Amino acid sequence: SPCSPRINWKELHANREANEAKKWEHCPQIKKNFYFEDPGVANMTPEEVEEFRKANNKITCTSESGDQVPNPVRTFEEAFEHYPEILTEIYKQKFQTPSPVQSQAWPIALQGKDFIGIAQTGTGKTLAFLLPGLIHIDLQPCPRSQRGGPNMLVLSPTRELALQIEKEAKKYSYKGIKCVCVYGGGSRRDQINLVQKGVEIIVATPGRLNDLLMNGILNITSVTFLVLDEADRMLDMGFEPQIMKILLDIRPDRQTIMTSATWPPGVRRLATKYMKNPFMVNVGSLDLAVSAFNLSLFVVKVNKTLTVHSVTQYVEIIDDEEKKDRVRQFCMEEMDEEDKAMIFVGRKVTADDLSSDFSLDGINCECIHGDRSQCDRESALEALKDGVVRILIATDVASRGIDIKDVTWVVNYDFPRDMEEYVHRVGRTGRAG
């Protein structure tokens, strides 16, 4: 029988690249570099740079392509002196200085470079990409009215984190830029109405975004600033196929930023595939170690500083049947009046049981888990934020992205599945802006 014809892979790849280029040839030009290096930053000696990074939670920054790493900024003015309206919005939030990840990420992002921010949850990663994103949107050469859709897309693993990012974005009323959050569990009709009114920033969970894309409700070919937030969590939740599908609709010459609390192989693979010569900004982790034996109760208390190493850890090894009484005693006798606590459990039924039992004991608490409605979950979080309750019992659905600034205790009633999950639970305390 005749041999099958050989496949000319070189020709196939060339055709694919040509088709890809043709697909995007009519897109408007992108401007990416908006950075004006402050003279004080430019004149920092290598020794000063090294000392600053070491003193700020051991910041490290590397470039895959060998490009020179920008010097870090030490003040908000050094980063945004040429953008006074951004500075005004920052001053309204009463922040004192940039967080470590912000100080190194802003010079990179404002130059239009791709970067990966590896830092514990709650260290200010949202503003590390949000403020450069606002400037990027405002200063594109193509008028907003002619862009045909949003310019910035933030993909987030959970609706809680997506809503928190939207809330943060709306604090910064810059040049009339509008932000909309689309997520499963919310009113689809309301979200569609908001999107169709015109918006510059979309914060989305992958499932709901794909739904809107497949039904022709949203067009993201106009996106030039892409953020994959909490990338490790998105992969843990099985979103990689949906992310890949979404990225097919985004122009390849975009600026891409990825944040993550951990750096597992899956996240590295994602970065290699979808980013171009990224810088990596790594802020020292918690440097945690866990012994091989089973820990029944792991308690974390926040110290009164806002750095990554701002927690004190306590371990108590007790029998399972004693845990409930021990936590009850902790809530009733050891928490101060101004304290707030989050208690993490491994199962939904445990959350419900603890909440019910503690309420009967006169302990004012709320609980959240995946079976509770979105409205109930948001109500419980607001109750903790407003001080209506001081104790929130949660499964790991709540372990990322929830910003409750004055949480003073994290109680690991059930030990987390792995160290990455522990890092995210502990991230509920010691949060930066």
Domain finish residue from 282, 316, 335: 282
Query: What number of residues does the chain have?
Result: 433
Q: Is 53 helix (H, G, I), strand (E, B) or coil?
A: helix
CA nearest 311: which of 185, 150, 428? 428
Tokens 């067009």 correspond to 219
Q: Is 153 helix (H, G, I), strand (E, B) or coil?
A: strand
CATH number at residue 42: 3.40.50.300
Same domain, 253 and 210: yes
- Residue 297's pLDDT is what? 58
Domain range spanning residue 149?
A: 29-282
- Residue 111's pLDDT is what? 98
Position 413 in a domain: yes
Per-residue pLDDT of the chain (433 residues), as tens digits, is 456 667 777 776 677 777 777 889 888 999 999 999 999 999 999 999 999 999 998 899 999 788 899 999 999 999 999 999 999 999 999 999 999 999 999 999 999 999 999 987 778 899 999 999 999 999 999 999 899 899 999 999 999 899 999 999 999 889 999 999 999 988 999 999 999 999 999 999 999 999 999 999 999 999 999 999 999 989 988 899 999 999 999 999 999 999 998 888 889 999 999 999 999 999 975 344 333 333 445 566 655 444 444 677 888 888 777 889 999 999 999 999 889 999 999 888 899 989 989 998 889 999 998 788 878 888 888 899 888 999 999 987 655 556 677 888 989 898 887 777 777 777 666 555 4
- Residue 1's pLDDT is what? 46
Q: In what order do the strands lie in the sheet with 311-316?
A: 311-316, 297-302, 409-412, 341-344, 391-394, 365-368
Same domain, 104 and 202: yes
Position 22 in a domain: no
**CA 327 to mean position of chain CA atoms:** 30
Same domain, 220 and 307: no
Position 56 in a domain: yes
Domain finish residue from 247, 282, 317: 282
Same domain, 276 and 304: no
Same domain, 61 and 167: yes
Same domain, 306 and 236: no
Tokens 């004149």 correspond to 43
Domain finish residue from 235, 253, 282: 282
Same domain, 256 and 139: yes
CA nearest 403: which of 432, 383, 377? 432
Same domain, 320 and 400: yes
CA distance 344 to 327: 11
- Residue 316's pLDDT is what? 83
Q: How many domains does the chain have?
A: 2
3-state percent helix, strand, coil for the chain, nearest multiple of 5 = 40, 15, 45
Position 59 in a domain: yes
Position 248 in a domain: yes
CA distance 94 to 97: 9
Position 371 in a domain: yes
Same domain, 234 and 317: no
Same domain, 67 and 200: yes
Position 152 in a domain: yes
- Residue 305's pLDDT is what? 43
Same domain, 272 and 308: no
Position 19 in a domain: no
Same domain, 268 and 406: no
Tokens in use for 386? Answer: 């407003």
Reported pTM: 0.72
Q: What is the DSSP-derived secondary structure letter of residue 351? A: H
The angle subtended at Cα 329 by Cα 326 and Cα 333, nearest 5°, is 150
**CA 5 to mean position of chain CA atoms:** 49
- Residue 227's pLDDT is what? 98
- Residue 292's pLDDT is what? 31
